[in-house]
Structure 1
């Protein structure tokens, strides 16, 4: 079975990627940091539509220490693909940005 991990699965782009991968037969790890309700709803929706596939939510804060990241990786089943759909948005004025 093909398995992927989608980092940022709760955002708009991440959810669309999860939908497309699930439709193509992929089982998924769905990463989230703070949007637990969103990821749970997405998992339920995908499982209802594709009951023979696995959809596993995983919580991870990227600001954690190396030991916790290593432990996180050890607990994953093998994956065939890794997708990064998460991002950070800084709101402000263009003139306030540092050129560097």
Structure 2
């Protein structure tokens, strides 16, 4: 159960990172509210998952999931380009996350 909560919390990290960007320095209220809510839920999930998972592993997976999905969302919405190196590095990041799960 802790792994599921951790993955969902990592997904919420991507939501709050994207909402933070969309808030334009907290000038737009809807993305700002989304940022605050998703960040709170993401941190709470991470904190809960860390009660039964090793801290370093939990944090690395949380950041990895969030970073991967944030970049993927930026590519899908055409805010960033999807170069070969970028895609290969994202695959490496996901592989590393799976590897951390495998050895935990």
Q: Scaled by the length of structure 2, what TM-score is found?
A: 0.38
Instruction: Determine which structure has more spread, i.e. the larger CA radius of gyration.
Output: 1
More strand by share: 1
